[in-house]
Amino acid sequence: MSEHPPAGVVDDVDYEAVIGLEIHVQLKTSTKMFCGCALSFGDPPNVHTCPTCLGLPGALPVVNERAVRFAVLIGLALGCEIAERSLFHRKNYFYPDNPKGYQISQYDVPLCRGGRLGEVRIHRVHLEEDAAKLVHLGQSGRIHGSDRSVVDFNRCGTPLVEIVTEPDLHSPEQAREWLTLLRATLRQLGVSDVNMDEGSLRADANVSVRPAGSSELGTKTELKNMNSFRFLERGVRAEIARQVGLLRAGEPVVQETLHFDPSSGQLTALRSKEEAHDYRYFPEPDLVPLVVEEEMRSAARSELPELPAARAERFERELGLSAGRAHELAFRGELGDYFERALAAAQPAQAVELANWIPLLVERIGSDADPADSNVTPESLAELAKLVGSGEVSRDAARTVLTTLVATGGDPREIVTREQLGAITGEDDGLGELVKRAIADDPDAAEKLRAGNMKAIGPLVGYVMRATGGRADGGEVARLIREQVAQRG
Amino acid sequence: MAAVSELIELTAAQAVERIRSREIDQRALFDAYRERAAGDELNAFTWVAERAPAPGPDADAPLAGVPVAVKDLFCTEGVPSQAGSRILEGYRPPYTATVVARLSEAGAPLLGKTNQDEFAMGSSNENSAFGPVRNPWDRSRVPGGSSGGSAAAVAAGLAPWAIGTDTGGSVRQPAALCGVVGLKPTYGACSRYGMIAFASSLDQAGPLTRDVTDAALLLRHMVGHDRRDCTSVQFPGEIELPRSEHLRGIKLGVPEELMDDAEAGIEQGVRTSFEGTLALAEELGASVERCRLPHARHALSAYYLIAPAEASANLARFDGVRYGLRVDGDAELVAMYSHTRAAGFGAEVKRRIMLGTYALSSGYYDAYYVTAQKVRTKIAEDFRAAFERFDFIATPTSPWTAFELGTKTADPLAMYLNDFCTVPMPLAGIPAISIPSGLSEGLPVGFQLTGPAFSESRLLDAAYALERRIGFDGSAARR
C-alpha cells in the first residue's frame, strides 16, 4: 500500500472515503462444518438436519477436515500466514436461526492472518458456521407484517469462511472491482460457488469518510449483507454521500449498523453502538484447538492453481492483451480456460484477435454461460479468427458465422462456403463496380470526400457493405472509394 | 431359581457371573429390579422400563443383561430425557448417548432414568423439577447431588448399578452420602456425546456402584474414543478388574489445604472416619504424609466462574423454538424467550446462568473468566507436582454426611461448600473415586482417592484393597 492512498471520490475533493469489506463465503464441501449432514440448495426444508445442527441437547460438534483444507487454500491464495494452532470460540446471541444460542466461530486466534489481494491488504480469514434460514410467512415476505416465521435448518451449519480486509478501498467502484477479483480467485480455487444471488458470497462494508489528506480514520458504519455487486456499489456510494452530508452540516457520524434497501436507495439503521450485542466470546470447550500440520499446508500449497491476478498479468505480458481484456478473461476462469484452449489451436500471434472474439461469443450465449458448454468448440473459434486474420472472411461476415456456430455448431469454413459469406475483394466479383455505383448514388458524399471531409466516406462504405451483405472487407472498400474519388478529381 | 431377596443381594459383577454360568436368569434379574424400581418410594426414578428387552442381551455378553439405571442427563432414544428440568418435561430425544449405547451393546439394558438436580446443578437433589430424592439411610435427608437418583437407587437396591455425571463432584458426593462407590474418570475417557451439557470442559460420565469391582466392570464398558466427541480419547489399555489386597509401596498424600481450611468445615464424624481409613491404609502397607496443593483452596471460586460461564452458553439452546417448553409471548420473540426460560428453569439454574453471563461479559471477562482459567492451570500444576511424590491424594469426599432436606436451600454458598474437596479434580481433569469408609451417626461417610490422568486401574486397585479392609456393609439401606 502506498503511503498516500489515492484521493477519494464522491465527486467531492474535500473528503476521502475509507472502505473495508467483510466477506462471507459458503464453502462447497459435501457436508456441514460440524456434522455429517449434506449441504444443499433448494431442497425441501429441514431434510438435512441432525442432533448437532439442530442444537439438540447433548449433541457435539466435530470439525470438518475438508472445510479446514479449503480455508487453508483460501488463506494461501490471499497470501496469509496460516496458524499452526487456532481456536474456535462461541459467539453468544439469541435468535431462532441460531439453534445452540451461540455460533461457533473463530475470534482472537484465527486460522489465517495478514495477506494481500491486488491493492488490498487482508486482515484475517477464519472459519465459522452459517445460520439457519428464517422464512417470514405473510404478504410482505419481510419480518415486519408477517403472520409468523418458520425456520429451515438445511443451511444451518454450512461451513463459512469470513474474509476481513484492511480499510484499503477508497471508492464504491474500487470496492466492486476488488470484490470481482476476490470472487474470481475463490472460484478458481474451486472452494465455493461464490454466487451472490444464492448467498454463497455475501459482503458487508465498513465505511467511513475523512477530510482529504487526513490520516485519521473517521467514525465508521457497517452496511450489512449487500447481495449483489451492483447493490454493494450503490449502497457504499449512498453511505459515503450520507456521511459527507453529515460532516458538511457539522453533524457527527454515529457508529451503527445499516441496511441498504436497493429498491428505495434508503439506508436504515439496524442497531446503534449502544445496542450492539455483547457476544461474550469464550473458547469453545467442545472442540480441541485446530492444528494445521505442515503436511496439510504444503499439500494445499501444491494444489494452488494459477490465480486470476497472476493469469491476467500473464495475458498482458506474454500475449499482448489489453489490461481490460486480460482482466475480463482471467477474472472469469471459464473464459480464460476457453481462451487458452482456443489459443492452443491457433498461432500465438493471433492471441489479440482471438481474445476479441470471446466477448462476442459471450454476448451470443448469455453472459453467465460457460462457452465450453456451447456449440462453439475452442478449435472452431480459433479457425474463425484465422479466417478473419487471413482476410478470407470479413469481420462483419465472421460475426454472422459466429451466430450460426452458436446456433448449430459446425465448421466455420463450411458455413462460409455454404452461406456464401466469403470476402468479396477488389480483384473479383465486381467490387469496383459496386463502388462506382455507390459514388453515383450519393454524389454529395463523394464531393465532400474529395474536398477533404473524411467523415463523408461513411455512407459510401455503408452502401457497399449493404449491397454485399457485409461480406466485403471494410478496409478494402474504403481504399477503392478513395481511389475512385481521387481518379475523378 | 433364586428368590428376589437373594438376587438383590448380589453385586452386579456377581450377577453377571451367575447369568453367564446359567445359575440365574437375566430376565428374572431384570424383572426383580424393575419391580423394585417401579415401587420406588425415594423418588429416585423419573422413568422405569415397562419390561425387559426381548430378546435380551446375549447371556455371554460382557455385562450379561444386568440392567443399568441412567441419570436423566443422558439422552436415550424415545425415552424421556429431562435433565431434571421443567423446560425439558416430556422431551424424548431421537438418539442415544454414546456411553448408554456402549453399555447396551455390552449387554446392560436400560432399567430406568434417575432423578437429578436440574441440569446437574446442585449437591442435594433438591433442585430437581420433579421433586427431591430421599436418602435410603434416612428418608428425611438428602442423597447428595447432582446424581442423587442414581446414588439412592444403587444404595437402596433399586438398581444393580447406575451411571451419573460428575462436573464438580456430582458422582462422588452423592455416592459418599448414600454409601456407594462413585468414580469420576479422567476428562476425555468417556464420550460426552448425548450427555446434556452443564459445563463442557468439566463434565464426565461415571459409574455409581455397590462396590469397587462393579465400578471397574461398568467403567470398562463406558470408556473409549468416540468420533462424535473430539475431546474424547482412546483409553490407554483396558480398565482392569481390581485384585490387590494390600497397599505396599503406595504413598498417600493428604493435602493440608483441603483438610485444615476452616471454610471447608469438615464434620468431626467425617474427620474421624477419614483418619480411621488412613490408619487402615497404613496397616495395608501404605505410607501417609501431609502434602501441599497450594491453590486448591481457590478451586471452588474458579469452579463457580468456569462452570456457570460454560453453562450460560450450553443452556442457551433451551429457547422454546424447537423442543421442550414454550410459553408464548404475544407474538413477540424476546417475550417468548423470557417467558419460556422464566417458567422452564429453576432458581439455581437461573442463578448460574446469570453468574456465567456476567463472568463472560465485556469488561469482566479478563477479571473473572480468564483469571479463573489461570487458577485452573495452577491447580493442575499443583496436582502434577504432588504426583511426583505421591501415588494418590486422599481426602474426605464431602465435608458432611447427608443433611436434612431443606436445611441448606436458603444459603447457596453453604451448599457450594459441599464441593470443596471434589471440585479440584475436574478442574485438573484427573480421576477420583469415592468409597464408603463407614458410618457416622448412622450415616455413610465417603473417602476419596485421586490419581493422575488415566490412573483409573491403579486407583480402583487401591480402592479395592481399602474396601476389603473397611468391610462396609450397605445392606441396611436395601431393606
Contact B362 A62 (CB under 8 A): no
Q: Which of B231, B309, B331 sits opposite A286 (nearest CB)?
A: B231
pLDDT given at position A7: 38
Does the interface ipTM go beyond 0.90? yes
Q: Is the pLDDT of residue A9 over 70?
A: no
Query: Chain B: residue nearest A54 by CA?
Result: B322
Interval B202-225: pLDDT, tens: 999 999 999 999 999 999 999 999
**Residue A59 distance to chain B (closest CA, Å):** 6
**Residue A268 distance to chain B (closest CA, Å):** 21
Q: Where do the H-state alpha helices sit in B157-298?
A: 172-178, 212-220, 256-259, 268-283
Contacts of B74 in chain A (CB under 8 A): 58
Q: How far is CA B339 from the centre of its chain?
A: 32
Q: Which of B195, B309, B334 sits opposite A282 (nearest CB)?
A: B309
Distance separating alpha carbons of residues B269 and B272, to the nearest angstrom: 5
Distance separating alpha carbons of residues A352 and A356, to the nearest angstrom: 6
Residue of A104, A133, A286, A287 best to disrupt the B interface, most CBs of B under 10 A: A286
Contact B193 A285 (CB under 8 A): no
Contact A57 B317 (CB under 8 A): yes
Contact B316 A278 (CB under 8 A): no
Question: Identity (one letter) of the amino acid at B474?
Answer: G
Task: Say if residues B124 and B415 touch (Cβ distance below 8 Å).
Answer: yes
Question: Identity (one letter) of the amino acid at A229?
Answer: F
Q: Is A274 on the interface with B (CB under 8 A)?
A: no
Q: Which of A54, A61, A288 sits opposite B322 (nearest CB)?
A: A54
Task: Say if residues A9 and A240 touch (Cβ distance below 8 Å).
Answer: yes
Task: List the single range of A292-296, A410-414, B136-140 with lowest mean pLDDT.
Answer: A410-414
pLDDT given at position A11: 55
Task: Say if residues B175 and B208 touch (Cβ distance below 8 Å).
Answer: yes
User: Using 50, 70 and 90 to split pLDDT, how confident is the model at A431?
Assistant: confident
Contact A99 B322 (CB under 8 A): yes
Q: Which of A56, A286, A287 sits opposite B93 (nearest CB)?
A: A56
pLDDT given at position A226: 85
The answer for A152, left when phi > 0, alpha when psi is -120 to 50, beta otherwise, is beta
Q: Which of A58, A96, A281 sits opposite B194 (nearest CB)?
A: A58
Q: What are phi and psi of B203, to 5 degrees?
A: -60, 130
The answer for A228, left when phi > 0, alpha when psi is -120 to 50, beta otherwise, is beta
- CA-based torsion, B356, B362, B364, B370: positive or negative: positive
Q: How far is CA B472 from the centre of its chain?
A: 20
Which whole number is the average pLDDT over A472-481? 82
Residue of A33, A37, A52, A56 best to disrupt the B interface, most CBs of B under 10 A: A56
The domain B4-248+459-478: what is its CATH number? 3.90.1300.10
Q: Which of A57, A102, A151 sits opposite B93 (nearest CB)?
A: A57
Contact A282 B369 (CB under 8 A): yes
| Closest by CA position to B391, among listed B288, B297, B274 | B288
Q: Is A282 on the interface with B (CB under 8 A)?
A: yes
User: Using 50, 70 and 90 to split pLDDT, how confident is the model at A424?
Assistant: confident
Q: What are phi and psi of A297, to 5 degrees?
A: -65, -40
Distance separating alpha carbons of residues B134 and B404, to the nearest angstrom: 10
Q: Which of B147, B170, B312, B457 is catalytic?
A: B170
Q: Is the pLDDT of residue A1 over 50?
A: no
Q: Look up residue A425 and give its DSSP letter.
A: -
Contact B321 A60 (CB under 8 A): no
Query: Chain B: residue nearest A282 by CA?
Result: B360
Task: Say if residues B212 and B242 touch (Cβ distance below 8 Å).
Answer: yes
Q: Is the pLDDT of residue A483 over 90?
A: no
Task: List the single range of A47-56, A299-308, A456-465, B142-151 with lowest mean pLDDT.
Answer: A456-465
Contacts of A102 in chain B (CB under 8 A): 313, 316
pLDDT given at position A420: 77
Q: Is A92 on the interface with B (CB under 8 A)?
A: yes
Contact B321 A51 (CB under 8 A): no
pLDDT given at position A362: 92
Interval A309-340: pLDDT, tens: 899 999 999 999 999 999 899 988 889 999 99
Contacts of B316 in chain A (CB under 8 A): 92, 94, 100-102
What 3 state SS string does A30-92 have?
CECCCCCCECCCCCCCCCCCCCCCCCCCCCCCCCCHHHHHHHHHHHHHCCCEECCEECCEEEE
- Strand-pairing partners, residue B290, are B254
Which whole number is the average pLDDT over A57-64? 98
Contact B361 A278 (CB under 8 A): yes
Distances (CA, A) of B468 to B273, B358, B434, B440: 16, 48, 14, 19
Residues contacting residue B430 through CB under 8 Å, at least 6 positions apart: B186, B187, B380, B383, B450, B451, B452, B453, B455
Contact B333 A96 (CB under 8 A): yes
Contacts of A96 in chain B (CB under 8 A): 319, 321, 333
Q: Which of A51, A61, A102 sits opposite B313 (nearest CB)?
A: A102
**Residue A71 distance to chain B (closest CA, Å):** 20
Interval B242-255: pLDDT, tens: 999 999 999 999 99
User: Using 50, 70 and 90 to split pLDDT, how confident is the model at A140?
Assistant: low
Q: Look up residue B368 and give its DSSP letter.
A: I
Q: Is the pLDDT of residue A145 over 80?
A: no
Contact A58 B93 (CB under 8 A): yes
Counting beta carbons within 10 angstroms of the beta carbon of residue A346, is it exposed (0 to 12), middle (13 to 18) or buried (19 or more)?
buried
Question: Annotated catalytic, B251?
Answer: no
Contacts of B315 in chain A (CB under 8 A): 101
Residue of A109, A282, A284, A291 best to disrupt the B interface, most CBs of B under 10 A: A282
Q: Is the pLDDT of residue A84 over 50?
A: yes
Task: List the single range of A15-24, A185-194, A423-432, B365-374 with lowest mean pLDDT.
Answer: A423-432
| Closest by CA position to B353, among listed B390, B410, B315 | B315
Per the omega criterion (within 30 degrees of 0), is the bond before B455 cis? no
Q: Which of B91, B195, B317 sits opposite A101 (nearest CB)?
A: B317
Question: Annotated catalytic, B232?
Answer: no
pLDDT given at position A32: 98
**Residue A134 distance to chain B (closest CA, Å):** 12
**Residue B73 distance to chain A (closest CA, Å):** 9
Residue ranges, chain B, pLDDT below 50: none
- CA-based torsion, A154, A157, A158, A162: positive or negative: positive
Question: Annotated catalytic, B71?
Answer: yes
Contact B231 A288 (CB under 8 A): yes
Contact A285 B322 (CB under 8 A): no
Domain ranges of chain B: 4-248+459-478, 297-371
Query: Chain A: residue nearest B366 by CA?
Result: A282
Q: Is A102 on the interface with B (CB under 8 A)?
A: yes
Q: Is A280 on the interface with B (CB under 8 A)?
A: yes
> Secondary structure of chain B: what % helix, strand, coil (to 5)?
40, 15, 45
Residue of A94, A100, A104, A273 best to disrupt the B interface, most CBs of B under 10 A: A94
Distance separating alpha carbons of residues A210 and A219, to the nearest angstrom: 9
**Residue A218 distance to chain B (closest CA, Å):** 24
Residue of B100, B317, B355, B373 best to disrupt the A interface, most CBs of A under 10 A: B317
Q: Which of B93, B97, B230 sits opposite A287 (nearest CB)?
A: B230
User: Using 50, 70 and 90 to split pLDDT, how confident is the model at A5?
Assistant: very low
Query: Chain B: residue nearest A99 by CA?
Result: B317
User: Using 50, 70 and 90 to split pLDDT, how confident is the model at A417?
Assistant: confident
Interval B66-84: pLDDT, tens: 999 999 999 999 999 999 9
Contact B194 A101 (CB under 8 A): no
